Structure 1
Amino acid sequence: MAWTGYELAKNSDGKIINGDPDTTVTGFKVDSRYVEEGDLFVCLPGEKTDGHKFINDALNNGASGCLVSKEIDIDKRYNDPLIIEVEDTLLSLQNIAKKHRQKFGVSVIGITGSVGKTTTKDMVNEVLSTKYRVLKTEGNLNSEIGLPLMLLKLQKEHQVAVLEMGMNDKGEISRLCEIARPNVAVITNVAESHIEKLGSLDNIASAKSELLEGLLPGGTAVLNHDDWRVKNMNKKAPGEVLFYGLTGGDLIASNIGITDQETTAEVKYQGEVYKLQLPLLGKHNVSNSLAAIAVGKIFGLTINAAIKGLEDFSITSMRTQVQHHKGLTIINDAYNANVQSTIAALEILENLSAKRKIAILGDMYELGEYTVKAHMEIGDEVIQREIDCLITVGKLTEETYNKAKDLKPQKTQIYHVKDNNQAVDLLEEIISSGDAILVKGSRGMAMEKIVYALQEI
């Protein structure tokens, strides 16, 4: 897909202050380090830096032009590049993406939730890709910046777009819906993520439900029946609602079995029972797969066809990713953490066949007033399970450590360390072949460094 400078100026309510209006743009970037030949570099101001400072770097990397909102200094060696001036570069990027989406009759699926939205997005893509040409969110491009960049990759050949929608505050998903205009909404759950800013689970639920309010007329909602806050969102859906869950709904999973290699279940839909076999672990992933199967049903796939689409599913890196190294089984779940996702990871660890089961848990961020209670809850959860060793890492997990110690466990060894390096030093002393090790913490803890160290031992 290509745009001219004239088209971009028109769609962004901007004006061309330099260069040829017929200049062709073939892509969009907000980071000058990743600019390629033909890209438009969108200069976004930020808290720590400002994209306007890197215009010459972008041009040096081959940018066709730049979208700016302030005066700039272009090196004379760059021959008359396209410069479009706008009032707000982020808003203009969003408007360009919105106009681009309107050119296509593609169906858009918006997916949100406190836990599991990335895995669910990937599963929906796997199912639909058996029948359609699908554009799906790459990496973490699910924000007010990332989602427009993904939509601008929409091409004529795409039939469906599967878009993850993240949020930190009220109103953000509404804005994403204005840009993406979704036909189908999937909401996985409501948990404590972002509670520091939003204040309560009810407020988080309200912010997530903006996806339903942003559906096109007659749009379909796929909702988790097991989460009562999500279940009650059905009143906001403009059209059909499909519920999925482990306890009830239109699509129900039961008789779940978890081994070291796979998770199996029976899926019931309209009185018929189907066998589900997932090459990944955890009841929560059964729930995620039900959401994907429901979306497949909406798009004309049979239940069996949707299930078959998940047979070779591969989990995204650092999300309950099971790895094996020199007799160790490592569960790399270091991408992020809250109470719900940590409990799910502990359940996976507990169900593994291993000589010892070791949980390495780091701080959970953005929990606000719930921080102390949440970390104590995890300490209690560990001791209730068949976990042989708990290693807490960081400042906040002192609450987890203290709670676990207070319970005076007879079987579980408990340690606390200040950082990842100390955790690695301890692990080098205590681990042995046959151990299963869970590594989990919030993104800011960067606990994948522990995983990398384990792979070097």
Structure 2
Amino acid sequence: MQYPESYQRFLDQDAKVFTDTRKPLKDGIFVALSGPNHNGNSYALEALEQGAAYAIVDQFVSQDPRLIRVENTLKELQEMAKIHRRRFKAKIIAITGTNGKTTTKELCHSVFSRAYRTQATEGNLNNHIGVPLTLLKIKEDTEFLILEMGANHPGDIHELCAIAEPDSGLITNIGKAHLEGFGSYEGVLRTKPELFDYLKAHGGQRFCSLFSEPLQKYATIEPNAIAFGPQQDACEFSGRLIQSFPEISLEFYNKQESFLIDSHLFGEYNFQNIVAACCLASYYGVPASAIQKGIAAYVPNNMRSQVIKHNSNTIILDAYNANPSSMIQAVQAFEQMDFKNKWIVLGEMAELGIYSDIEHQDLLNQVMDKTFQKRIFIGTRYRLDGIKLPDMHFENAASCKAWLDMNWPEDTAILIKGSRAAGLERLLQ
């Protein structure tokens, strides 16, 4: 078969693809992507000097024969990924949703790897660049790829499905996030189900969560949809929560059996993620013992529900991402935890656009009646007139850290939650 030069070089070199010259790959292929504030073509020669075998560009750079000129580097990257995906028989399970998609993906990877040769999205490389980079890592013996799909604009999921061509898909939930890009919550409601639209049109398997009210209708209107949720009599796969803290334990049910699951996660929102992962694994024939071991082996890190001991305090660091839905879920879960002294430290939520002020005020209103010893708010979006002692407000993480360094409590549980842009991890440095 005749392949485009870019992909043929990729095969000839058995190469890896990279897009950032700060993280060069020797003998790899550099794809010169451009954005609003940079032109990747300007770094092509630098990539070659650093050891890249080839560089893919869409502007004239030089006569160097290692430069592969194409019309559009992003589209070329995506086309290379599509070709690579079609060459292999790996089943692709796509996971999207407002919250929980990364945790669900990691749980699935841990579980599926105990029964199949499995790959998964690394980190959160879940957009129009990250998905192609993930697809290009598929190996000949890969049996399953757990592929995370993110979106912040209408049509994003449709575009990613056209590239990845998933065999099945699961939507964790639908909530308020990226409202700036979607335009409104209604925009989110229309975009996430694009995954189901693709699967329906191409004969793929859809997994419908009964935990999320906006998704419940798909369990009835979607032919051949597989439902999972908390009610054993309402769906094919279900879970019964036994405890949510200090670590979740549950009983999982399928049509053939039930078995206990222990985990290192906490909170009812993570209970939903565990049931989702168990549903996928059980459907694809992963034995119960492998599911149990896979869930138990996953330990949250990278500022996602990460539990840290800080002197005599217990810190719950959940500062990789935040939106109105995940913020209140985290606060509610923390409120139920059995600690004598509890503080919450809430940073700003990013990408809310014209809804930012009202959503921050709504969050503030919801947490003021919670039984915490102290509430600390970080960021200018929180209105000062709603915050009174002993609660506190700081304009940024640096000023909050300066105060905390002199005033850390003792024997206290502290929830730290906010968007990545707030840099709340610096509070612990």
TM-score w.r.t. the length of structure 2 is 0.92
Q: In 2 relative to 1, CA 184–23 (structure 1 residues): closer, same or farther, beyond 3 Å?
A: closer
Q: Which residue of 1 aligns with 2:238?
A: 252
Asked if 1:333 corresponds to 2:329, the answer is no
Distance 2:194 2:10 in 1: 38
Q: Deviations over 1:390-420 (max 9, x none)?
A: 000011123xx54454xxxxxx831011111
Q: Which residue of 1 aligns with 2:327?
A: 342
Distance 1:332 1:52 in 2: 39
Q: Which residue of 1 aligns with 2:359?
A: 374
- SS at 2:153 equivalent: coil
Asked if 1:9 corresponds to 2:28, the answer is no
**Deviation for aligned residue 1:268:** 3.5
Q: Which residue of 2 aligns with 1:298?
A: 283
How many residue pairs end up in the alignment? Answer: 426
Moved more, 145-154 or 374-383: 374-383
Q: How does 1:270-309 map to 2 (within 5 A)?
A: 270=255, 273-303=258-288, 305-309=290-294
Q: In 2 relative to 1, CA 266–384 (structure 1 residues): closer, same or farther, beyond 3 Å?
A: farther
Distance 2:70 2:28 in 1: 17
**Deviation for aligned residue 1:277:** 1.6
**Deviation for aligned residue 1:305:** 3.9
**Deviation for aligned residue 1:193:** 0.8
CA contact (8 A) 1:256 1:283 kept: no
Asked if 1:63 corresponds to 2:52, the answer is yes
Q: How does 1:216-227 map to 2 (within 5 A)?
A: 217-227=202-212
The one-letter code of the counterpart of 1:105 is K
Distance 2:144 2:352 in 1: 35
- SS at 2:203 equivalent: coil
Distance 2:6 2:413 in 1: 57
Q: Which 4+ residue blocks in structure 1 deviate beyond 6 angstroms?
A: 20-23
Q: How does 1:181-192 map to 2 (within 5 A)?
A: 181-192=165-176
Distance 2:314 2:275 in 1: 27
**Deviation for aligned residue 1:39:** 0.9
Q: How does 1:436-447 map to 2 (within 5 A)?
A: 436-447=413-424
Distance 1:429 1:246 in 2: 45
Q: Which residue of 2 aligns with 1:97?
A: 81
Among 112, 123, 128, the alignment partner of 1:144 is: 128
Asked if 1:429 corresponds to 2:406, the answer is yes
- SS at 2:195 equivalent: helix
**Deviation for aligned residue 1:442:** 1.2
Distance 2:162 2:150 in 1: 14
CA contact (8 A) 1:395 1:418 kept: yes
- SS at 1:135 equivalent: strand
Q: Which residue of 1 aligns with 2:72?
A: 88
**Deviation for aligned residue 1:62:** 0.6
Q: Deviations over 1:126-172 (max 9, x none)?
A: 11111001110001211101110111011112110011001111111
Q: Deviations over 1:365-410 (max 9, x none)?
A: 2223332332122223323322111000011123xx54454xxxxx
Among 162, 168, 174, the alignment partner of 2:158 is: 174
Q: Which residue of 2 aligns with 1:158?
A: 142
CA contact (8 A) 1:26 1:39 kept: yes
Q: Deviations over 1:52-73 (max 9, x none)?
A: 1111220111111111111114
CA contact (8 A) 1:147 1:165 kept: yes
Moved more, 117-126 or 228-237: 228-237
* Residue segments in structure 2 that go unaligned for 5+ positions in a row: none
Distance 2:325 2:143 in 1: 34
- SS at 2:103 equivalent: helix
* Residue segments in structure 1 that go unaligned for 5+ positions in a row: 13-19, 75-79, 406-411, 453-457
CA contact (8 A) 1:23 1:64 kept: no
Asked if 1:29 corresponds to 2:9, the answer is no
CA contact (8 A) 1:95 1:179 kept: yes
**Deviation for aligned residue 1:234:** 4.5
Q: In 2 relative to 1, CA 226–32 (structure 1 residues): closer, same or farther, beyond 3 Å?
A: same
Distance 2:32 2:276 in 1: 37
The one-letter code of the counterpart of 1:111 is I
- SS at 1:287 equivalent: helix
Distance 2:95 2:428 in 1: 29
Q: Which residue of 2 aligns with 1:455?
A: none
Among 388, 393, 396, the alignment partner of 1:416 is: 393
Distance 2:135 2:364 in 1: 42
The one-letter code of the counterpart of 2:46 is D
Q: How does 1:225-236 map to 2 (within 5 A)?
A: 225-234=210-219
The one-letter code of the counterpart of 1:426 is W
CA contact (8 A) 1:209 1:233 kept: no
Q: Deviations over 1:76-99 (max 9, x none)?
A: xxxx54221111100011001100
- SS at 1:66 equivalent: strand
